[in-house]
Structures are given as C-alpha cells and as structure tokens.
Amino acid sequence: MSLPIAQQWYDTRRLDDRIWLITEPHVHPIFSANMHLVLGRDADLLIDSGMGIAPLRPVVDGLRDDPGKPLICLSSHTHVDHIGAAHEFEQRLVHPAEAEELANPSPYSLTSADIPAALVRLFLDAGYPPLWEYLINAVPVPDYDIAAYKIPAAPATGTVEDGDIIDLGDWQATVLHLPGHAPGQIGLWHPESGTLFGADAIYDGPLIVEDQETYANSLKRLRGLPIKRVHGGHDPTFDQTRCLEIIADYLTRWGRA
C-alpha cells in the first residue's frame, strides 16, 4: 500500500495568548495525541511530544517568541503517542514511575497487524474505530520507511511528582499524579486560570483504563477541583460542565459514583 505525502505533518492552533495546540492529523485517532506548548517569560513548556514520525522541534521553535529561551519537555506518561519526539529536547521531565520507559522505550510498529490482539481489543472495547492498515494515512516525506519506525531513547533529565511546581517565571502550575491510565500518568493544574492539562487522565473521548479502582480515585480527585477548562491528551478542549459529565459517566459505569 502506497501512502500519500502530507503537505505538512503537524497542525498548530493558538488556543489563547499563551497556549498553542499541536496535533498530528495523519495519525489514527487512537494515537493522535494533543501536544500543548505553554509560553512563559523565563521558559516555555511542551506537554507531550506525539509519535515522533516527523521532526517536532522546528515546529515548536517556530511558535515560540524566543527560540533561545529554555524549553522544558514534560511527558505526561510514556505511551508511544506521547513520547515519540522527546529525544529532540534537552530538558525532559517525567514521573519516576515512567522514567525507565522513557530511557528505554518499548518497540512499537506503525503496521497495525503487528500490534498485539489484546491491545487492539482494548481499543475497540473502549469505543475507538478499527485501526487502519497502518497507524498513519500519509507519510511526511517521499522516502519515509514505515518499517524502520522506532522511538529513540530519551532519558529524563529530571522527574516530577505530585505537588511539584512547573515554573515558567510568570506562570506556575502544579503537577497532579493521576494514575489509572498509566502508573505515572500526570496532569498539570493552573489554578489562576482554572485550567487543567488532563493528558490521558481525562479527555472528551473513550478513556483507556489500565487500573479501574486507581482511575476512579483520580477522577474523584479531579471532581473536587474548580476546573474551568480542560486541555486533554486527545480531542477538543472542554469546560467544567463537560468535565463533570465525563467523570460522572465513568464513575457510574464502574459502579464507583
């Protein structure tokens, strides 16, 4: 199967005067994760780094006011769609429970037939559409080798835990440990604006559950925050009303309301 060449691999959209959304529109919805760039006075912050199919750093630097400023890459967790380009950034932060995977990523294939059947079933049961033949429907350059896809090692230069502060000088946010989707899944809470970067702990689409009891506790924790908007790891931004609806829906499904 020959795939078309994408005119551009990444889409970018400004969400407000500080935050950019970066997406990979040619990646299957299950693996097309949101990346958020937060601009700060003293440093900028990139939350997650996608699949790493095409170079990300030039796109990120093109959105920054000053590409010479320090840039922090924060991996919310280490599933393939969130760490693919982490190696392109000098400062790499992750929760300690995810650090080993960031340093030694598990092999992954862009060919759907190579993905374990149990994982494919998990995606379907969660409510995602069937996988395409490949996890992408285009290639970034004419000579792109799908079979050679590999996530490079990107050892963390630091770790963050619950309660730690990410400080960009004129913007500070608190790290929230929100396990259930992944052991070291984290979110980022900016109380001044009521903004939650929920990553894969909560987004407006089918949630993938690793540990239901732990996940329920994470959602209950989020239920207690005065959230005004959520930038999730997938799908569009949503407000407090929708956030509470999603939490109530899953807690009810799991019998843990």
- What are the structural domain ranges in the chain? 11-253
Q: How confident is the model at residue 257, as a pLDDT?
A: 86
pLDDT tens digits along 116-132: 999 999 999 999 999 99
H/E element holding 102?
helix 99-103
In the chain, the amino acid numbered 151 is I
pLDDT tens digits along 182-224: 999 999 999 999 999 999 999 999 999 999 999 999 999 999 9
Record the pTM.
0.97
CB 123 within 8 A of CB 131: yes
CB 214 within 8 A of CB 248: no
Q: How far apart are CA 122 and CA 134, in angstroms?
A: 18
Rg of the chain on CA atoms, in Å:
17
Q: How far apart are CA 130 and CA 132, in angstroms?
A: 7
Q: How far apart are CA 253 and CA 168, in angstroms?
A: 39
Which CATH entry fits the domain spanning 11-253: 3.40.50.970, 3.60.15.10, 3.30.365.10, 3.30.160.250? 3.60.15.10
